[in-house]
Structure 1
Amino acid sequence: MRHGKYPFILSFLALPVGLYAWLVILPFAQAFQISLTDWSGSSNQFNYIGLDNYVNLFKDENLVMPAIRHTAIIVVALPVITIALGLFFAFMLNIGGRSRQGRIEGVRGARFHKIVYFFPQVLSVAIVGILWQQVYAPQNFGGLITGTLDLFGLPAPVNGFLADKRFVLVSVIAVLVWSSVGFYLVFFSSAMASIPRDLYEAGIIDGAGRIQTFFKITLPLLWDSVQTAWIYLSIVALDVFVLVYMMTPDRGGPDSASEVVGGVIWKYAFNNGEQAFASALGVVLFFAALTLAVVSLRFGRREQIEY
């Protein structure tokens, strides 16, 4: 029986592994091959030019380098802000209440609040982009934020937040946080539900406040969930082009002030007809995502706590 175990297992793995290799690994390998050529995408002829496309990536100060800087800012800001807000709201909704007997409970209406926070998840990225494009619009176009600021006599950008180089990237990050925090609130809430309430009640008896309870009990026991959230949010930050495409002027403007790596790939591939250069940038983006995941798993590892 044991002798025939491995062929039996392989018979089940052959189809999914084969599909994964065909649909995922093979396209990545082909993209790497194309990145070593001068292929424009409009012909079947190309010449191998080695690593020239990779060298030229870092010489492009008009699109590539600003896009890398902006993407790096989003990769840092989005996970930090979203995880912090998700943990805070989840902790307050699940642990913030107190019964008359002194027991730890969630606040009243916690389920309703979770639904409200989760609502942006049911909207497509295109709808979110169009919605917030109107929210950030100038006052004469009915912009909600600019109209509110004017109502209170506060200054606002004349052409709206998305047409101002000072605010456009911050505006995009704010929308990303708004659309993501609800999912991670529910994600962290489900993880908190598995923490025994006895631990919190023992902490209260010992005189621990909410801040001490969070850092001494909740956060250590949720560290694996935080690590997972960090990896997923980092990948989302690298793949933010659709929102930038839908929201910002010139699909990354104004003057490339909100340009991201995905947008540069799209522009070089379909606007400039430089498929090989776009493929090289795509390969760099792939290895950046892979490196972020490996580093997060390696340096975020902690001793597992059992309870």
Structure 2
Amino acid sequence: MEHGKYRFIVGFLIVPLAIYSVFVIWPFAQSIYYSFTDWTGLSPDFEMVGFDNYIKLFSDDVFWKSLQHSLLFLLLLPLVTISLALFFAFMINVGGRRRKNSAVSGVRGSSFYKIVYFFPQVLSIAIVALLFRFAYNPRSGSLNAALDAVGLSALKTAWLGNPETALWAVMAVMVWCTVGFFVVLFSAAMTSIPRDYYEAALLDGADRITTFFRITLPLLWDTVQSGWIYMGILALGAEAFAVVQIMTTGPGGPAYATTVLPLYVYLKAFRDGQAAYATTIGVALLVVTLAFAAVVLKLGRRERLEY
């Protein structure tokens, strides 16, 4: 009977595992293989060069600058986005004042706020990047115009043309376009928490801040951990590439001030014709992504709470 059960499980798993191996594992293996060659990406001919690409990587100043920017994305974007999303979701679901029919409720107009926060998810990331590129325009952009209107003309700058502000301007766009998804995600998770927990805590004299840290956050921890990993992957992947590629000059400028690892892979492969070196950078990006996921899972491990 046990033997038949295992054959039944293997029968269901063999097809999806085969598809995963062909479309995920095999491309990764190919990338690692090509990183040891001099392949240009334009010709089928190449030679093995050993660790030459990796030696070149360690002496590449633009790579280290790109890695620094990607790590900054990796540290700050999940922290800011997840924190804002948790705050907004808490206020929408249980952060309102007590009402006659319920001691626990969201702020007034919470349904409207959910739509507003989720609206950026409806837009393509390319459209969002273009809109903010126009907004950041130093001459005709709405941001500098708003600063003029409130008497803060001294703060006006070329947001995407100034190396000191360009990266922060890009990060702000990524927070704006992703926070709504996590608001909806955390709101859905909060609706499954029994209201009795909050009502009992409020009767015992707990305030909203206490209920958040003692009830909401512990019971949402698995969802927060998954969201943190997902946001980190967005910060290291296509989301960061698309925003930087569309919004910045160069792209990645000025003076590589906004270049991130996914964009540097693209530039080396398609602009410079160095596909093998691009795959080497891709391998480094893979290592950073796996290390990030492992650290989050390790540091975030805690006893599972049931309710």
TM-score interval, normalised by the smaller of the two chains = over 0.9
In 1, the alpha carbon distance for the partners of 2:229 and 2:199 equals: 32
Q: Is the 8 A contact 1:200 1:217 kept in 2?
A: yes
Write the letter of the residue equivalent to 2:7: P
In structure 2, the partner of 1:212 is: 210
The total of aligned residue pairs comes to: 303
Question: How far apart are the structure 2 equivalents of 1:151 and 1:299?
Answer: 46
The unaligned stretches of length 5 or more in structure 1 are none
Picking from 166, 169, 172, the partner of 1:168 is 166
Query: Within 5 Å, which residues of 2 pair with 1:84-103?
Result: 84-97=83-96, 98-100=98-100, 103=103
Which residue does 1:246 correspond to in 2?
246
Per-residue deviation, 1:102: 5.7
Match of 2:124 in 1: 124
**RMSD across aligned C-alpha pairs, in angstroms?**
1.3
Aligned to 1:226: 224
Taking structure 1 as the reference length, what is the TM-score of the superposition? Answer: 0.95
Instruction: Give distance in 1, aligned partners of 2:268 and 2:23.
Output: 24
Gaps of 5+ in 2: none
Q: Report what 2:257 is aligned to.
A: 257
Q: SS at the partner of 1:305?
A: coil
Q: Aligned runs of 1:254-293 on 2, under 5 Å?
A: 254-293=254-293
Contact 1:265/1:281, CA 8 A, preserved across alignment: yes
C-alpha distance in 2 between matches for 1:14 and 1:206: 54
Amino acid at match of 1:264: Y
Separation of aligned partners in 1, 2:284 and 2:215: 39
The answer to whether the 8 Å contact 1:95/1:106 transfers is yes
1:152 — aligned with what?
150
Say whether 1:10 aligns with 2:10: yes
- Give the structure-2-normalised TM-score: 0.95
Question: By how many angstroms is 1:191 displaced?
Answer: 0.9
CA shift at 1:83, angstroms? 0.7
Q: Secondary structure at the match of 2:83?
A: helix
Mapped contact 1:82–1:181 kept (Cα < 8 A): yes
Q: Cα deviation per residue 1:256-300 (whole Å; 9 max; x = unaligned)? A: 111100111111111111111100110111121112112211221
Instruction: Tell me whether 1:20 sits opposite 2:20 in the alignment.
Output: yes
Secondary structure (helix, strand or coil) at the match of 1:162 reads coil
Deviation at 1:101, TM superposition (A): 5.2
Which amino acid is the alignment partner of residue 185 of structure 2?
Answer: F
1:111-150 Cα offsets, whole Å, 9 max, x none, are 11101100111111111110110111123xx201011112
- Paired position in structure 1 for 2:110: 110
Deviations 1:229-248 (A, max 9, x none): 11000000101111100111
* Conserved? CA contact 2:147–2:156, under 8 Å: no
Shift of 1:33: 0.3
Q: Which residue of 1 aligns with 2:300?
A: 300
Letter of the aligned partner of 2:75 in structure 1? V
- What is the CA-CA distance between 1:57 and the residue it aligns to? 1.1
Match of 1:52 in 2: 52
Do the aligned partners of 1:157 and 1:164 also contact (CA within 8 Å) in 2?
A: no
Q: Which moved more, 1:180-189 or 1:52-61?
A: 52-61
Name the structure 2 match of 1:188. 186
Bigger Cα displacement from structure 2, 13-22 vs 272-281: 13-22
Deviation at 1:18, TM superposition (A): 1.0
